[in-house]
Structure 1
Amino acid sequence: MTEGTMELGDVGTSLMASDSKKAPVKPPNKFERLVQPCLAELVGTMFFVFIGCVSVIENVEAAGRLQPALVHGLAVAVMVACMAEISGSHFNPPFTIAIYLCGGMKLNMVGPYLISQLIGGVLGASMSKLMTTTENYSKAQGAAFALLQSQDQLWGALFGEIAMTCLVTMVVLLGAVNAKSSSPMVPFMVGCTVIINILAGGDVSGTCLNPARALGPAIVANYWTYHWVYWVGPITGGLVAAALVRLLLGDRKTRILMK
């Protein structure tokens, strides 16, 4: 063996030794596994609901649905991008339920996530009341979903909440949970889906798609007319999306039929 070869061998050995000395990545501790994700869900939902409610309360009439559509969609995109590595960025009970049903999280975290999201919704709605004028707040019913006023509107609104929540939940599942179709563009995809849903269905149901977004303003403004629609519709839509992915659209790991 020549001297030059020995020198190259020594360099290679030195590089390998240097790599081996890197500190191993520590597994998440109990706080990072259990507490921090719930805090992220609470804070993320709080700011989403806060910004969303303010956009409705202070909506300029000339802007129509465009202002709340853009605000809700962009707020979702930003919060999902920020919190994805902490909690998965659900911020919505139907998302959490559907993600669990498709194998994307453990059962022991489902309840804490749901509670965190609902508390975050109430806090966000309270923040919007502190920020806005009494006149604007009252006129907008605190950004509660006050569009439904008669039985004639009910079934169309309920179907709209089911179908539109199914769509956005399917985007979440296929973009973030299903390995075959997962994409780093998920924050953008979810935000865009929220925007198009509000633009399409805002005059039919108000386009809630999220019980946490409905509950906060309902409690703070004490407005409960047809409130159940904004629980039954989104949760049903989330379950339909989970069934589609779990039974038909998912990859072999996610799908339970026709593997």
Structure 2
Amino acid sequence: MAETKMAEEKLEMSNVETTLMKNTKKPAPPPLSTFERVIQPCLAEVIGTTFFVFIGCVSVIENVESVGRVQPALVHGLAVAVMVACMAEISGSHFNPPFTIAIYLCGGMQLTMVFPYLISQLIGGLLGAAMSKAMTPSNRYLNATGAAFSILKSDDQLAGAIFGEVAMTCLVTMVVLLGAVNNKSKSPLVPFMVGCTVIINILAGGDVSGTCLNPARAFGPAVMANYWIYHWVYWVGPIGGGLVAAALVRLLLGDEKTRVIMK
């Protein structure tokens, strides 16, 4: 009888604990408002791209000749690392049309947000370039063509420049996709990794194409300085590189959820 009573008491205690655990469960978080779901991410993309382009353009316009590519490389890389770390939980910190396209193709965002993100990034590019023009002396601004990409002078340079933009954008986009989208390889070090990849790309390929990797970074200065020579290269190359990176992750490098073949 005593054993039966003890067993019943244990069962009652277990039921009480189960009930308490059920009652102490945290309620589901309320759905995000339209502002937090749509407007705030687009604002973050505008602001993040604005300051990235602004700082990047100023680093080129005010570049000390003796330093060479080191100054723009460090400034662009550190700027993107800081902005990615700050805005990641708000918009995902794209700041680059090829990133947005590739992230969508790998299942990292909804189609309805792709176009607003692209527009936001181009607006940010324009604002950042305008800020750099307002800040820097006119003689230095003109001497640097407003930080527009003016390194290409003839058709002989096109093949190497396009290939370089495709390959280098593919590299940095793969870092973004594998570090932030693909569940198997996600890493909290994404801001550091993206920043380092931008730095090494500029150091490696700056004299070949200027290492744009970002149409928003090319578009703003081109508008402000009215410099459009070979501007199309900085759309075709980066977008092509982003598509190649998305294909590599979707077909070969992604986890079972991301990969579309050989599951």
Normalised by the shorter chain, which TM-score bucket?
Answer: over 0.9
User: Is residue 177 of structure 2 the alignment partner of residue 157 of structure 1?
Assistant: no
* Root-mean-square deviation over aligned CA pairs: 2.0
How many aligned residue pairs are there?
254
User: Is residue 58 of structure 2 the alignment partner of residue 54 of structure 1?
Assistant: yes
Number of the residue aligned with 1:168: 172
Number of the residue aligned with 1:42: 46
Which residue type is aligned with residue 184 of structure 1? P
Question: Match for 1:33 among 26, 37, 50?
Answer: 37
**Any residues of structure 2 matched to 1:57-206 within 5 Å, and which?**
57-206=61-210
Number of the residue aligned with 1:246: 250
Q: Deviations over 1:117-137 (max 9, x none)?
A: 001000000000000000100
Which residue type is aligned with residue 105 of structure 1? M
What is the deviation of 1:94? 0.2
What is the deviation of 1:30? 1.0
Q: Deviations over 1:10-67 (max 9, x none)?
A: xx96xx5798285653221111001111000011000000000000000011110000
Number of the residue aligned with 1:211: 215
Distance of aligned partners of 1:19 and 1:190 in 2 relative to their CA distance in 1, 3 Å threshold: farther
Distance of aligned partners of 1:205 and 1:19 in 2 relative to their CA distance in 1, 3 Å threshold: farther
Listed as ranges, the gaps of 5+ residues in structure 1 are none
Which residue type is aligned with residue 131 of structure 2? M
Listed as ranges, the gaps of 5+ residues in structure 2 are none
Q: Deviations over 1:123-158 (max 9, x none)?
A: 000000000000100000000000000111111011
Which residue type is aligned with residue 140 of structure 1? A
Moved more, 111-120 or 23-32: 23-32
In structure 2, how many angstroms separate the alpha carbons of the residues matched to 1:175 and 1:80? Answer: 12
Which residue type is aligned with residue 92 of structure 2? G
Which residue type is aligned with residue 242 of structure 1? A
Q: Highest Rg: 1 or 2?
A: 2
Which residue type is aligned with residue 203 of structure 1? D
Structure 1 runs of 4+ with >4 Å offset: 16-19, 21-24
Which residue type is aligned with residue 106 of structure 1? Q
